Amino acid sequence: MVRASQLLHAQREPAVPRPAATVLLLRDAPGGIEVLMTRRSATASFAPGAYVFPGGGIDAGDAQAADTAARRPTQQDAHFVAAIAAIRESFEELGVLLAHRADGRPADASDIAALDRHQPFVAQCRARGLTLAADEVFVLAHWITDRDLPRRFDVPFLVARMPQGQSPVADEAEQFEPVWVRPADALARHEAGQFFMIFPTIRTLQRLAKLDDVAAVLAACAGEQPLWTSSPRAGWVKGAETRFMEHEMPYGELALVSPDGQIVHHLDWQTEQPVALLKNVMRMTAPNPGVMTGPGTNSYIVGDPHTGYIVIDPGPEDAEHQQKLWRATHGDIRMIVCTHSHADHSPGARPLQALCAQRPPILGLASAPTARPASAFTPDRALADGEVLTLAGGGTTHSLQVMHTPGHAANHLCLVLMEDGLLFSGDHILNGSTTVVDPPDGDMTAYLDSLDRLSAACEQVGIDFILPAHGHVLGFASQAIAHLKAHRLQREARIVAAMRQRPHGTLEDWVELAYADVPPRMWPLAQRSLLAHVQRIEALQLAG
């Protein structure tokens, strides 16, 4: 866990989320699924003027209405209560009644007319012998309002089929203008500025638009678990406040820089100034964007004015980039560490060293004989596996533990900032793409074994964040590594299938089959990692 003393922004306690429930009432139409939406009051305290799905807070009475509602055997308690609340809100806001009479027939217009939308809902249903159809309401997603907002909600997004023969009538107090709309049309109208929606609504409709009919939606929800859970985070992109979900590339960086949700961090890539991630960690991106480097190679600066600094991966030989690193550290660089010897990581080490009066040592592992000529590298001193590099001063210590992680390159290493649970992953783990494992210097079995070492370190040290050489900071470190390994093994299974399908094929034949989901322009690059997989498959006799 990151030390509070190293956070850039003062800690604050986000507002406690209130329990609520939202329901997407769905129907099939000739053009596909339609969902019922309404416009919130312009004076509403939350999302004024936005088009939303019906819903609201969960009341104590909702949990006490269990004897008035039908329930699936697999329906969890929390989802059951949320379904009751959603049914109540649908009636109070839109006059839609998801209920059955004692004889099993659905509630109809006469039942709706007999109920007063301004009186206690459940008591009226009991008196009329109506059973709430909570067993026909399924959980789709789970949203927790962003940490930066003063009013927050913990909201299951539920789905149900619209009862036949009923028509929505807005209460004209909280909700207005009920409208049936296809998800794709609602999204298009929002983009055109004609149909304002908030972030969770937009993202829910984006996923709903991929399903063909109501039956497909309900089938997707049959597992009784949310298809996704999210508490978004926001930062600045091109001057605009922009929100992200957990699976999106900037999310981890926002969680590191402003864990309590302050909207303060700019996510645009730039190479002019260092980007502060913590008080003791800065990122300086080299001006070398490209297919292999993404937005550029990240050089990291660890330390503070009292301890001096360690520079990790000084980048390609670029005089301006090294000058910027030197200026950002006020020339007080104690060590220069290269995670590996590739041409966008280590060539800047000697020029940066020459700028410093004390000539800090260049540390790392020498390139192996298998390295390409452009990747030749010899450090001043080789780093031992498990060695700890320490900066200390002003009562503060920053300790970087070395981990040998061959795979992407034979001389690859990672560094763990022990006090703050940060992993500097070099090219072993990237954000936004999988790294290339290019034989003979790259080795797929070694790569996967190194992933296992890093996974174990996450548990042992408490690593929460990964700072890659390309891309934004990754959060949920253990999950990211597990996902990466699963991706590699899934790709390997496709390669095995391709080899079996074309036992006398070439790499060009196999890449066409195994990387069919990748644009053909990327196949020459993918072919390098495919070769690494093939060598592993043949060594382990996985293809049979």
Per residue in 361-409, pLDDT (tens digit) is: 999 999 999 999 889 999 999 999 999 999 999 999 999 999 999 999 9
Given a cut of 90, whether residue 258 has pLDDT beyond it is: yes
Which of 53, 379, 51 minimizes the C-alpha distance to 190? 51
Q: Grade residue 21 by pLDDT with cuts at 50, 70 and 90.
A: very high
3-class SS of residue 59 = coil
DSSP state letters, 254-285: HHHH-TT--S--B----SSSPEEEETTEEEEE
Under DSSP, the state recorded for 346 is S
Mean pLDDT of the chain: 94
Which of 29, 22, 261 minimizes the C-alpha distance to 157? 22
* Predicted pLDDT of residue 387: 98
Cis peptide before 440 (omega within 30 of 0): yes
Given a cut of 90, whether residue 525 has pLDDT beyond it is: no
Q: Grade residue 172 by pLDDT with cuts at 50, 70 and 90.
A: confident
* Predicted pLDDT of residue 75: 95
List pLDDT tens digits, range 47-98.
Answer: 788 999 999 999 988 988 889 999 999 999 999 999 999 999 999 999 999 9
Q: Are strands 32-40 and 18-29 parallel, antiparallel or unpaired?
A: antiparallel
Element (H, E) at 184: helix 183-191
Single-letter amino acid code for the residue at 330: H
Residue 357 token pair = 């009066």
Q: How far apart are the C-alpha atoms of 431 and 440, rounded to whole Å? A: 24
- Ordered by where they begin, the domains of the chain are 18-231 (3.90.79.10), 233-268 (no CATH), 269-475 (3.60.15.10), 489-540 (no CATH)
Contact (Cβ atoms closer than 8 angstroms) between residue 251 and residue 245: yes
What is the pTM (predicted TM-score) of this model?
0.92
Contact (Cβ atoms closer than 8 angstroms) between residue 287 and residue 301: no
Per-residue pLDDT, averaged over 428-439, amounts to 94
Per-residue pLDDT, averaged over 110-119, amounts to 90
Single-letter amino acid code for the residue at 544: G
Q: Are strands 396-404 and 388-393 parallel, antiparallel or unpaired?
A: antiparallel
* Predicted pLDDT of residue 353: 98
Q: How many CB atoms lie within 10 A of CB 208?
A: 25
List pLDDT tens digits, range 460-498.
Answer: 999 999 999 999 999 999 999 999 999 999 999 999 999
N- to C-terminal Cα separation, the chain:
45
Please list the residues that pair with 362 across neighbouring strands. Answer: 336
Single-letter amino acid code for the residue at 509: D
3-class SS of residue 52 = strand
Q: How many CB atoms lie within 10 A of CB 422?
A: 28
List pLDDT tens digits, range 291-316.
Answer: 889 999 999 999 999 999 999 999 99
Contact (Cβ atoms closer than 8 angstroms) between residue 455 and residue 478: yes
Given a cut of 80, whether residue 45 has pLDDT beyond it is: no
Q: How many CB atoms lie within 10 A of CB 517?
A: 7
